[in-house]
A and B are shown apart, each in its own frame.
Chain A
Amino acid sequence: MIEIRELTKAYGPHKAIDRLNFSVARGEVVGFLGPNGAGKTTTMKIITGFMAPTSGEVKVAGFDVFEEPIEVKRRIGYLPETPPVYGDMTVQEYLRFVANLKGADKTKMNQLVDRAIEKTNLGDVRKRLIQNLSKGFRQRVGISGALVADPEILILDEPTVGLDPRQVAEIRALIKELAGQHTIILSTHILPEVQASCQRIIIINRGQIVAEDSLDGLSKRMTGSGTVAVRVRRPTPQLSDALKSLNGVRKANAEGNRIQLETDGNEETAERIAAHIVQQGAGLLEMKSQATDLEGIFLQLTSSEETQGAKEGATV
Chain B
Amino acid sequence: MRGILAIAGKDLRSLFFSPLFWVIGGLCTLVWSILYVIRLQQFAVSSYQMQMQMAMQGQSEGGANIHFDVFAAHISLVNFIMILAVAALTMRSFAEEKKQRTFDLLLTSPVNATQIVIGKFLGSLGVAWALVAISFLHPLATSTIASIDWGPLLASYIGLLLLVASYVALGMFSSSLTESAVLAVVMSLIFSVGIWFVGAGSEILDSPTWVAIFEHLSVGTHFVSFIKGSISTAGIVFFLSVIFLYCFLTQRVVESNRWR
Contact = CB atoms under 8 A, between A and B. Distances in A.
Interface of A: 48-52, 69-71, 73-74, 76, 78, 80-89, 97-98, 100-103, 145
B105 A103 contact: no
Given A70-B110, A101-B3, A50 B102 contact: no
B213 interface: no
Contacts of B3: 101, 103
A171 to B, nearest CB: 19
A73 B10 contact: no
A260 B3 CA distance: 59
B117 to A, nearest CB: 15
Given A80-B101, A86-B102, A87-B100, A49 B10 contact: no
12 contacts: A51-B260, A70-B111, A80-B101, A80-B104, A80-B108, A83-B101, A84-B103, A88-B17, A97-B6, A97-B10, A98-B109, A101-B3
Contact of B108 (A50, A86, A88, A100): A50
B259 A86 contact: no
Interface string B86-116: 0000000000000011111111111110000
Contacts of A52: 258-259
B59 interface: no
Contacts of B105: 80, 84, 98, 101, 145
Q: Is the interface of A mostly helix, strand, loop or mixed?
A: loop
Nearest to B109: A101
Contacts of B109: 73, 98, 101-102
Contacts of B101: 80-84
Nearest to A142: B105
A101 B104 contact: no
B109 to A, nearest CB: 5
A70 B108 contact: no
B111 A84 contact: no
B7 A84 contact: no
A100 B17 CA distance: 20
A86 B10 contact: yes
B18 interface: yes
Interface of B: 2-3, 6-7, 10, 14, 17-18, 100-112, 258-260
Given A84-B105, A88-B17, A101 B258 contact: no
Contacts of B111: 70, 101
A81 B104 CA distance: 10
Given A48-B108, A49-B107, A97-B10, 19 more contacts: A49-B258, A50-B108, A70-B112, A73-B109, A74-B110, A80-B101, A82-B101, A84-B101, A86-B10, A86-B102, A87-B100, A98-B105, A100-B6, A101-B109, A101-B110, A102-B109, A102-B110, A103-B3, A145-B105
Contact of B100 (A48, A70, A81, A86): A86
A52 B107 CA distance: 12
Contact of A73 (B14, B110, B260): B110
Contacts of A87: 100
B52 to A, nearest CB: 58
A87 B101 CA distance: 12
B242 to A, nearest CB: 29
Contact of A101 (B14, B103, B106): B106
A103 B104 contact: no
B102 to A, nearest CB: 4
A107 to B, nearest CB: 14
Nearest to A96: B6
A76 B2 contact: no
A307 to B, nearest CB: 32
A91 B111 CA distance: 22
Contacts of A84: 100-105
Contacts of A71: 110
A50 B258 contact: yes
A86 B96 CA distance: 10
Q: Which of B17, B18, B105, B258 is packed against the most chain A CB atoms within 10 Å? A: B105
B107 A88 contact: no
Contacts of B258: 49-52
B4 to A, nearest CB: 10
Given A101-B105, A101-B109, A86 B14 contact: yes
B92 to A, nearest CB: 11
B108 A49 contact: yes
Nearest to B112: A70
A101 B7 contact: yes
A97 to B, nearest CB: 5
Nearest to A80: B104
A123 to B, nearest CB: 23
